[in-house]
Each structure stands twice: as C-alpha cells, then as structure tokens.
Amino acid sequence: MAPLQIIGRILLLTLLLTRAQSEPAATSVSATINLAPPPAPIAPTAAILKSLEGSCRYHPGGGSCPEHAPCCLNGYCSDDPRYCSTGCEPKNSWKESSCFPQAFCSNIHEDFNQPRLASSKTFNGNPYQYDFTTDYNAEGVSIQDSKLKISMKLDRIPNSYGRPQGLGSVVSSTRFMQYGKVKARIKTGSSSPGVVSAFIIRNEDPGDEIDFEVVGRDPTEAQTNFYYRTPPDMPTDLIDYSNTGKQLLNTNTALDFHDYEIEWMPEYILWKVDDKVIRHVFRNETKDDASIDPATGQTRKRYPSSPARIQFGIWDGGQGSEGTAAWAGTPTDWSKPDQNYEIQVDYIDIQCYYPGNETQIWPPLGYGPTKIHDGPYFTPGLDNRNGHDTGDSFYNEQENGVHPYVPFYKNPKLMIPTGCLMGFALVVVGTVEVVRRRRLSKVRWS
C-alpha cells in the first residue's frame, strides 16, 4: 500500500475515534428511570432528588455530567465541592450520589459575634464547618458590631428593562429544615419605595416557600406568604399568588429592630412579630392539589411540606416589571450613586421539628466526586454572575490548566481545532492521492 494511502487511512481512523469519544451516548442511565409519585411529607431523607432530566444543560459533551466533572449545578458540570452541594442536580450528574445529601436541620442560636459564614465562592459544602453561606453577591454581606448586614447598592449594569437597578444579596443556612420554629431580630432595609427586605424558608425544588417580606412602598406593613411547588423556572402566570397576607404593624420596620418568627408545623403555620401572632394558616384549610397522597389515598393539600433552607435577603423590586414595581413601590431612589440599603440581623434562633444527626463525617460515605483534588477548579455559571463563562471543569482558569482528569481527546478546547486540522489534512491527502492515481493511469495507457 502506498505511504500516502497509509497516512490517509491513519488520519481518517484517528478523526473517527476522536468524534466517537466526543459524541454523547444516545441515552443515559438516569434517562431510563421512572420517578414514583412524590412521597408524603416525612422527616428529611438523605437526599431529595430533582426531577428527571438526564442532561446537564451546558455540558459540552451533552447528556449528564462525566465522572471527572460529576456534579451538575445551574446547567454546568464540575468537581468543585460547591457544585456538589446545595442546588446540585442528582438526575443530571454523573451519579445521583455525586451530589451531597441535604444536611439535616440543627438547633442553633447565632448572635453573629463569630458566625460560621462562608462565601459561596469558598464554601466546601460541609455544613459542620459553616452554618451560613452568602449565596449571591458576597461583597454585599458583612459582619459588623455583632450584626449580620446584607446590603444593596446600585448595579453597574442596567436591568433587562434598561433601568438602573440595585444589586441585592442573599444569605442562606447550610442546613435544611422540615418544620420547626425560626426567630430572628431584624431591622429592615426598606427605607425607599422598591426596596424589598426578606426573611424566608424556601427550597428550589420542589419550590415550597414561607416568607416575611417588607416592601418600601409601606415599611410599616408586614407581608406574609406561602407557596407550594413553585420552582424558579415556573412561568409566572402559573404561580398562585393568592396566599398573601398583609398586616399593619404601626411601626416603621426600617428604623428599629423587631422580632420576626415563623412557626411551621405539619398542620399549621404561624407568623409572629414581637411575639404576637399576626397570621395563621391551617393545612386542612389550604387548597387541594391535583395529586393523590399514596400513603393515605387522599388528595394532597397545597401546603409547604418539603425540607427548605432559611434565608435573608434584600432586592430591588421598584425597577423591575410593572406588576412587581407596583407591589414594591416605584421608583427606587438611586439619586445618589453611593446609595446603600441594608437589612440587619441581630440574631437568629432555629428550633428543629426533626433534629439532625450531628455526625462530623462529611460528605457521608459514597457521596461526592469519586476523585478529590485541591483545585484550582473552573466554575462557570457560579463565579461570573453575568454568565460569560462557558464550559466546565474539563479545564480550569490557569493559563495552561487542562484539567488533570481529562484525556487530550476529551478536552472541548482541543476537540474542534483538532478535528478541523485533521479534516484539512484529509482533504490534502485525498487531493494528492487523486493526482497520483491520475498520473499512474496515464502512464499505464501511454
């Protein structure tokens, strides 16, 4: 066989192998699993699984995450512990156990003298080392004078409506509560129309929530609400907003501290301000759901019942959509470039209905990435809030940082240019071979 033919066939075989390695499998194991109906409200289990999808949205290889970047978060894959912690999507990860389980609730009284608070950029997923995380805009969160201070300043980027808008912040507990009592002493930051101060119990999946909110349109009024199964991607026209309550407090919540308490039990919810009940809801009086509880055979109630985290936050509702702005008050006062709005928390007291096991082993045996290293990690969709990052932990942010667990042919930065070069080489080799054969044929017939 001619040398050029051998080279051409080798290049063709290499190209086919490269493409085969980069193509996702037609189906994944997780895509064949049928989910049973949601269970009845029970004590927190080791892990609460997300809905069946089998595909981490922005993973370059398609399908669920690969073993070397096993955890899916916000549509991206990584072996960074943060991706394997809260928000990790078990059905879209390498294995469901790649995600850390939800940490059981633990009784705590925190007066913020020396809080165990981690930034979302440094949180290693261990709830035994940290009680709280800054889940959004860590720069807006500080501890001063034994107070947790969560601030909102003017964002440098206009919102989707082309208006200047504040950049808020969120602080969350690292553990999940399913029923119990949460009490916090708070001074709201709602001193201008549009500014929303929030103290809530919420989960992303299935989207249950119980909240206190004070809006700048009237900081003397406490708004209480609960939601049942309203995940973040649910269209707003499908969300039930009819469970809102408004209670006049006859005091400006932005001028002084007050005690806010949510008592959440299997059969009722109480909202209290300064130890006075301002609203109550009984489970048996809530609306019926469309599903049937398999444990009882009875229709479910649209009552929050799934484990959730405790959160404090501040955000700008006055510069958003017309409906939100009318609710929160508008416009938000950004007449001063250095304007700052701030919610302050003096203490928080958490009493769990189902207290957790205080084991110090984390993650539990069998959970998390199969290979552990000290980084650095590439963390798209997490560190850059504007979403400019792409890819996953196939490679990190170092100049020459190909991820240590990624073979050459699986590196997405190299797959496309390598394929192009091989394709060009095949064209050249093919052209040369055609010319050679034509010359040979002329020689034979001459």
- Please count the CA atoms within 13 angstroms of the CA of 159 that sit on its side-chain side: 15
User: Picking from 233-242, 291-300, 319-328, which range would have the lowest pLDDT averaged per residue?
Assistant: 291-300
CATH number at residue 282: 2.60.120.200
Angle at the Cα of 166 from the Cα atoms of 259 and 74, rounded to 5 degrees: 90
**Residue 290: what pLDDT?**
87
pLDDT tens column, 90-123: 999 999 999 999 999 999 999 999 999 998 777 8
- Residue among 133, 46, 140 nearest 82 (CA): 133
Mean pLDDT of 309-323: 95
86 pLDDT tier (thresholds 50, 70, 90): confident
Q: 329 lies in a domain? A: yes
The answer to whether the CB of 93 falls within 8 A of the CB of 71 is: yes
Residue 220 and residue 165 share a domain: yes
Q: 115 lies in a domain? A: yes
CB count in 10 Å sphere of residue 280: 14
**Residue 42: what pLDDT?**
32
14 pLDDT tier (thresholds 50, 70, 90): very low
pLDDT tens column, 393-418: 333 333 333 333 333 444 455 556 66
Domain that holds residue 81: 50-100+362-377
Whole-angstrom CA distances from 334 to 124, 190, 274 are 36, 13, 32
CB count in 10 Å sphere of residue 224: 23
Residue 269 and residue 169 share a domain: yes
Domain count, the chain: 2
What type of residue sits at position 100? F
Residues 6+ apart with CB under 8 A from 119: 133, 134, 138
Q: Which helix (H) or strand (E) is 326 found in, with range?
A: helix 322-328
Burial of 231 (0-12, 13-18, 19+ CB in 10 A): middle
Q: Which helix (H) or strand (E) is 46 found in, with range?
A: none
**% the chain with pLDDT above 70:** 75
Residue 284 and residue 177 share a domain: yes
Residue 217 and residue 91 share a domain: no
pLDDT tens column, 20-65: 443 333 332 222 222 233 333 333 333 333 334 578 888 877 788 9
Residue 114 and residue 61 share a domain: no
Residue 180 and residue 95 share a domain: no
CB count in 10 Å sphere of residue 168: 25
